[in-house]
Amino acid sequence: MAYPHTRMRRLRASAGLRGLVRETGLRAEQLVLPLFVAEAGAPPAPEGPLELPALARLSISGAVERAREAAQAGLGAVLVFGVPAHKDAEGSGAYDDEGIVALTVRALKQALPDGPLVITDVCLCEYTDHGHCGVARETGPHPPTIDNDATLELLARTAVSHARAGADIVAPSDMMDGRVGALRAELDSEGYTDTPILAYSAKFASAFYGPFRDAAGSTPAFGDRRSYQLDPANGAQALREAVLDVGEGADMLMVKPALAYGDLIAAVKRETGLPVAAYNVSGEYAMVRAAAAAGALDEREAVLEILTSLARAGADTIVTYHALDAAHWLA
Ligand code: PBG
């Protein structure tokens, strides 16, 4: 029966009615806070035009303090990125058992054994001297290409070194083919059969990673990441990546960025049934911060709307630079 019998506004008339029928809620425990941890001697991050406190580089003890705040706020996890003092062609800092991520994970687990879960980003881009996510191979007069198969072994070593340090979840973000299977095989053969893999499956070559690359010091020295990250025009390909990662043993799947990719959050959830994480990336954080600083919108209202919408689209877990703020606003 249509109007006037049906009146959609009936259930919107009071806060009580709206609360009674609200479909989607947000919980602090589904939020993940990224942490950037810099080794002593790492070159400083470039000065950006905006104040982006959640992208500030931390020392190891600073990261422990931030994770303690995350625990107090009830966040589910922190996601650790390392900024090394030295880079090389093989990104050896990524899989060094005394490297910045391994040291940070050990410090976090020791200081906060019951604290938020520790997820590590598994990639080479912060550690290679050229800033790409894999090893480069010269191909004559052309710019070098990123060698997929040579990279897999290094990624697998990286994941094992993180697991050995105590990481609860490893999250490959490199977009090489076959990395989930390579990580699973190496983790299993080293005895880490119970370490879950959160695969950045649908990761797009995006303009929204700019502030992250300054924070992490991972801007590519030549070319761009379009030979390995997805074309934003391709939804079917993204879904295929997700399905392949399931076949290789991924435990959770990520869609990244989040705001312009709600169709894929919904599709990945529907097609795979796996837990889905959405990464509300640095450029999305910067947009909200810039608009709020200019007085164009209310940061709290905007952030809670964004996070609720990602959950409504199908995200079980949300990585967001606003995680601490959101947890306080929800409390
Ligand atoms: C590393 C990585 C990136 C991000 C997460 N892991 C950058 C990139 O692929 O260039 C971006 C996160 C953000 O923008 O918040 N491969």
| Residue 222 CB neighbour total at 10 angstroms | 10
Which residues line ligand 1 at a C-beta cut-off of 6 Å?
121, 123, 125, 133, 173-174, 209, 212-213, 218, 225, 281-282
Determine the distance separating the centroid of ligand 1 and the alpha carbon of 15, expressed in angstroms: 39
Determine the distance separating the centroid of ligand 1 and the alpha carbon of 264, expressed in angstroms: 18
How does the average pLDDT of the chain come out, rounded?
Answer: 97
Q: Which of 72, 33, 80, 37 is nearest to 56 (CA)?
A: 37
Determine the distance separating the centroid of ligand 1 and the alpha carbon of 53, expressed in angstroms: 17
Which pLDDT score, from 0 to 100, does residue 84 have? 97
Mention every residue, 6+ apart, whose C-beta is less than 8 A from residue 263.
235
| Cα–Cα distance measured from residue 306 to residue 284, given in angstroms and rounded to the nearest whole number | 10
Evaluate whether residue 179 is within a structural domain: yes
Evaluate whether residue 16 is within a structural domain: no
Query: Which residues are designated catalytic?
Result: 203, 256
Question: Can you give the CATH number for the domain in which 279 is found?
Answer: 3.20.20.70
Evaluate whether residue 18 is within a structural domain: no
- State the total domains in the chain: 1
Evaluate whether residue 248 is within a structural domain: yes
325: tokens are 């703020």
| Cα–Cα distance measured from residue 87 to residue 129, given in angstroms and rounded to the nearest whole number | 5
| Residue 43 CB neighbour total at 10 angstroms | 10
Determine the distance separating the centroid of ligand 1 and the alpha carbon of 27, expressed in angstroms: 24
Secondary structure (DSSP) of 101-117: HHHHHHHHHHH-TTSSE
- Condensed to tens digits (0 to 9), the pLDDT of residues 78-133 reads 999 999 999 999 999 999 999 999 999 999 999 999 999 999 999 999 999 999 99
Burial call 110-132: b when 16+ CB within 10 Å, e when fewer: eebeebbbbbbbbbbbbbbebbb
Model confidence pTM above 0.95: yes
Give the gyration radius of the chain's Cα atoms.
20
Which pLDDT score, from 0 to 100, does residue 141 have? 78
Q: Please identify, by atom number, the ligand 1 atom nearest to the C-alpha of residue 34.
A: 15
Residue 320 confidence class, pLDDT cut points 50, 70, 90: very high
Evaluate whether residue 2 is within a structural domain: no
| Cα–Cα distance measured from residue 268 to residue 244, given in angstroms and rounded to the nearest whole number | 12
Pick from 80, 124, 125 the residue to mutate for probing ligand 1's pocket: most ligand atoms within 8 Å of its CB: 125
Q: What is the mean pLDDT of residues 178-204?
A: 98
Evaluate whether residue 10 is within a structural domain: no
Evaluate whether residue 136 is within a structural domain: yes
Evaluate whether residue 3 is within a structural domain: no
Q: Which domain holds residue 81?
A: 25-330
Q: What is the mean pLDDT of residues 301-316?
A: 98
| Cα–Cα distance measured from residue 63 to residue 75, given in angstroms and rounded to the nearest whole number | 15
Burial class (CB in 10 A: 0-12, 13-18, 19+), 69: middle
